[in-house]
Amino acid sequence: MATEFKHKDIIALRDLSKDEIELLISTAESMREVNGRAIKKVPTLRGKTIINLFYEASTRTRTSFEIAGKRLSADTVNISPSTSSSTKGETLADTALNLLAMKPDIIVMRHAVSGAHYFLAKKVGCSVINAGDGAHEHPSQGLLDLLTMKDRFGRLDGLKVAIVGDITHSRVARSDIQGLTKMGSSIYLAGPPTMMPPGVERLGNVTVCSTMKEAVSDADVVMMLRIQQERQGKTLMPNAREYSRYFGLNPENLKWAKPDAMVMHPGPINRGVELSSYVADGSQSHVLKQVENGVAVRMAMLYHVCGGELAE
């Protein structure tokens, strides 16, 4: 495992080495101790200012980053689209320079455009963390998924992970593919052909399956993706019921996986579409564990990018 993290920004798991990912996971494991005690605060980032700039709706990720910053004693400020000047036509570059004039140490951003963070990081001197950009990556979700799987199995190499759903629009899938491939897991993808991007095998140790059964059979982990109704064109699937019949996870087809397989979902769940309530609330579901680990992982990311800023 690497003992140091030299990056100022975390934009994609693709940019990190296996050692660096292991370091972030190990730090996150240590951060959990802080979250479990009565006084959930450490002074590490005292005096640092974190701006959460969310151009897309988010409850989980934004709250999680905000709590993570506060538990490290940083001051966190949230900016969301309805209250920001982007509704008045301000460009991302101008918003960035204006925020920078207020001397933040870290900007956590979610943006609808893939790669917007690389642009932002070039414009600003402070650290940039990607909280989701278009259909590119969602590194904090990828890391918390890795941590949750490691909790359950004690390792990540050799795991068979099925990812089922709308791969095309899923930045979670891309971060998971990058992270899992580096850690030595095998990824099996399933979804309607209209939601399967051509050439996705080239991203990592990925097998594209023609049916859900092929992907889920014998899997250690079944990762269900949310059907992103806000990103769908009209033609990708006939209707939610048909989708659910072929690509929804229910107690019956979960039996294809290993008996103790874990079920994961990045949330928010469309109950009865990609995940039946029996499975979502069942004993194999780790959905809430993922949310819990999210805070610890984001604390680790904030902690290490602050040191990376000094290293440059």
Interface residues with another protein (CB under 8 A) are: 1, 3-6, 23, 26-27, 29-31, 33-34, 37-39, 41-44, 72, 300, 303-304, 306-311
- Rounded Cα distance, 287 and 259, in Å: 18
CB of 21 to another protein, least distance (A): 13
Question: Is the peptide bond between 268 and the residue preceding it cis, with omega within 30 degrees of 0?
Answer: yes
Comparison of 72 and 190: residue with beta carbon closer to another protein: 72
User: Which are the contacts of 288, defined by CB distance < 8 A and separation ≥ 6?
Assistant: none
134 or 308: CB nearest another protein: 308
d(CA 70, CA 42): 9
Q: Residue 237 CB, nearest distance to another protein (Å)?
A: 44
Question: DSSP letter at 2?
Answer: -
Q: Is 138 a catalytic site residue?
A: yes
21/215 with CB nearer another protein: 21
Active site residue 110: yes
Of 238, 234, 212, the residue nearest 225 (C-alpha): 212
The minimum distance between CB 27 and another protein, in angstroms, equals 5
Catalytic residue among 8, 14, 71, 138: 138
Q: Which is nearer to another protein, 39 or 102 (CB)?
A: 39
Q: To the nearest whole angstrom, how small is the minimum distance from the Cβ of residue 153 to another protein?
A: 20
CB of 44 to another protein, least distance (A): 5
Is-catalytic flag, 70?
A: no
Name the catalytic one among 49, 61, 76, 95.
61
User: Is residue 18 among the annotated active site residues?
Assistant: no
SS3 state at 220:
coil
Backbone angles phi, psi at 307, to 5 degrees: -75, -30
Q: Are 191 and 207 in contact (CB under 8 A)?
A: no
Least separation in angstroms between residue 71's CB and another protein is 10
Minimal CA–CA distance to 267: which of 227, 214, 240? Answer: 227
Q: In what order do the strands lie in the sheet with 106-111?
A: 75-79, 49-54, 106-111, 127-133
User: Nearer to another protein by C-beta: 32 or 60?
Assistant: 32
Is residue 144 within 8 Å of residue 294, measured between CB atoms?
A: yes
**Cβ 303 to another protein, closest distance in Å?**
6
Query: Which of 8, 62, 71, 110 is the catalytic position?
Result: 110
Query: Which tokens in the block code for residue 18?
Result: 């296996």
SS3 (DSSP) at 58: coil
In this structure, the number of other CB atoms found within 10 A of the CB of residue 294 comes to 27
- Active-site residue flag, 60: yes
Catalytic residue among 32, 60, 123, 152: 60
- From the list 88, 103, 202, 245, the catalytic residue is 88
Nearest of 73, 101, 93 to residue 109 by alpha carbon:
93
* C-beta closer to another protein: residue 71 or 136: 71
Inter-residue contact 139 to 182 (CB < 8 Å) = no
> Which ranges constitute the DSSP H helices of 162-311?
171-183, 212-216, 240-247, 251-254, 277-280, 287-311
| Nearer to another protein (CB atom), residue 22 or residue 166 | 22
Active site residues: 60-61, 88, 110, 138
